[in-house]
Amino acid sequence: MAVPLVHWEEAAASGSAVAVTTRHGGVSRTPYDTLNLGLHVGDRPVDVELNRARAAAAFGVGLETMVFARQVHGTTAALVGPADRGRGSVSEDDAVPGADILVTTSVGVTLVILVADCVPLALVDPAAGVLAAVHAGWRGTAAGAVPAALRAMADRGARPERVRAFLGPAVAPERYQVDPAVRHALARAVRPADLDPAVARADGPDHWLVDLVAANRQQLVGRGVLPEHISASGVTTADGAFFSDRAARPCGRFALMARLLG
């Protein structure tokens, strides 16, 4: 069975390839059916490895080019290069530890972020040849994962006004009710600006519906990324094509994959 991908065709004009997988086209059994790419959710490792190889092939790369991180809902950025190819691809033991942002300037390295409701992002500065992949759930968003990624990219010559941003599927706002503490944490992340009304809207006393894609979009624009350079997937994990941790536990993970083009 073919592995379907959701591509950003416009990424090629920025010297990159960016895509997300769906939950289809793999070999995992229920409740991970079928294209689970997470080794940490209780699925059979042999199935996950085969799924990852299929996803890599659909993206036009080999599994040995992929770099995975042990994501911790933080803001640590790790610079990876050719020597890191394959890290975490068949075992969590050698994944990049404690990182939610992977950055590279190397062609031939495929960055991978795993999600099942959190926002996956790819950021690229085509002039500087710098690519980042970011994992941003509400904790990472509130802590400033996007600003941290832009700072790490700037260390390699990137400038925010040149950055193109690609935001993948995340939890649907109508499915993401939070308490005031979460809303306040997201508001603190954009101070001294006010939180964009699109990020959180009231849903009864002491409850808010949060749009994490809008939250990350506001942080990107606030750090100098041009609105016209931001492209969201336009779908959410309410679409049955994607794993959603809020809808079913346990569940699999889908991936954002990104690489620089030669």
Per residue in 201-212, pLDDT (tens digit) is 999 999 999 999
Q: Which residue has tokens 């959190």?
A: 118
Determine the Cα–Cα distance for residues 132 and 92; give it in Å rounded to an integer. 20
Q: Which residue has tokens 């600003």?
A: 147
Lowest-confidence segment of 1-5, 71-75, 173-177, 191-195 by average pLDDT: 1-5
pLDDT at 194 exceeding the cut of 90 = yes
Determine the Cα–Cα distance for residues 70 and 78; give it in Å rounded to an integer. 11
Q: H/E/C letters for each residue in 126-142?
A: CCCCEEEEEEECHHHHH
Q: Mean pLDDT, the chain, as a whole number?
A: 97
Per residue in 158-192, pLDDT (tens digit) is 999 999 999 999 999 999 999 999 999 999 999 99
Tally: H helices and E strands in the chain: 5, 14
Q: Which fold has domain 5-171+226-260?
A: CNF1/YfiH-like putative cysteine hydrolases (3.60.140)
pLDDT at 100 exceeding the cut of 70 = yes
pLDDT for 37 equals 98
Question: E strand or H helix at 143, and its extent?
Answer: helix 138-143
Per residue in 213-236, pLDDT (tens digit) is 999 999 999 999 999 999 999 999
pLDDT at 1 exceeding the cut of 80 = no
Q: What is the rounded average pLDDT of the residues 124-128? A: 98
Q: What is the rounded average pLDDT of the residues 128-135? A: 98
pTM exceeds 0.95 for this model: yes
Question: Which residues touch 10 (CB under 8 Å, ≥6 apart)?
Answer: 164, 231
pLDDT for 2 equals 84
Integer CA distances (angstroms), 136 to 10, 11, 213, in order: 22, 20, 9
